[in-house]
Amino acid sequence: MRRKVPRVSKVSQVPREWERETRDTLSRGFTLIELLVAISIIGILSSLLFVSYTSIQKNTRDTQRKSDLKQYLTALESYASANNSLYPIYGSVIDVNSGLCGELSEFLKNECLQDSRVASGWPNYKYRSDASGIKAGLAARLESGPLSAGMQAKWWVACTNGKMKEIESVSTSPNVGGGAINSECLR
């Protein structure tokens, strides 16, 4: 059914029935349902953004950890070159900052590198060598990525033999980093 359009002689004149319809529509505003739908959509979108933002932060920190271990490996190679091809000898796993950092200070470009989350209880980088100082390795606990069933943590292991690998473990204990170094670097 077609609507009958009244004729208007001047452009500025609007038929009264249209004027009434427009006024009623504009004064009505939004219904409560429309507002709730809009607010819930905004909430869902903001939660998705928050989740992806935290994921990006974790990936960024993990990339920094891997980069830090590469810098430590470079410093270890420089140390070994100056010390008859031997790495600093530590028979058990240690925090990098508790001893190794002092020995490598002249070979590190920056100050002692440490995990950005150490202050919040996150384990720092780990180091271990064999008893003779011929082999050594470093480990850093990672934050991002899915874990296999029954696994609790991921570690990035960097060895002086050139091997770099991500390893899953059943424990979040900092000593697990030393176990990962043993299994990948000191065999």
Does 27 fall in a domain?
no
Mean pLDDT taken over the chain? 82
Does 39 fall in a domain?
yes
Say which residue, 142 or 145, is predicted with more confidence.
142
Dihedrals φ, ψ of 137, to 5°?
A: -160, 165
Does 174 fall in a domain?
yes
Does 12 fall in a domain?
no
Does 1 fall in a domain?
no
Taking Cα atoms as reference points, which of 73, 91, 83, 61 lies closest to residue 138? Answer: 73
Q: Read off the DSSP letter of residue 90.
A: -
Does 111 fall in a domain?
yes
Does 124 fall in a domain?
yes
Q: Ranked by mean pLDDT, which of 20-34, 85-99, 111-125 comes out on top?
A: 85-99
Total structural domains within the chain: 1
pTM of the model: 0.72
pLDDT beyond 90 at 3? no
How would DSSP label each residue in 152-185?
Answer: -EEEEEEETTS-EEEEEES---THHHHHHHHHHH
- Which residue range(s) make up the domain with 43? 32-185
Does 11 fall in a domain?
no
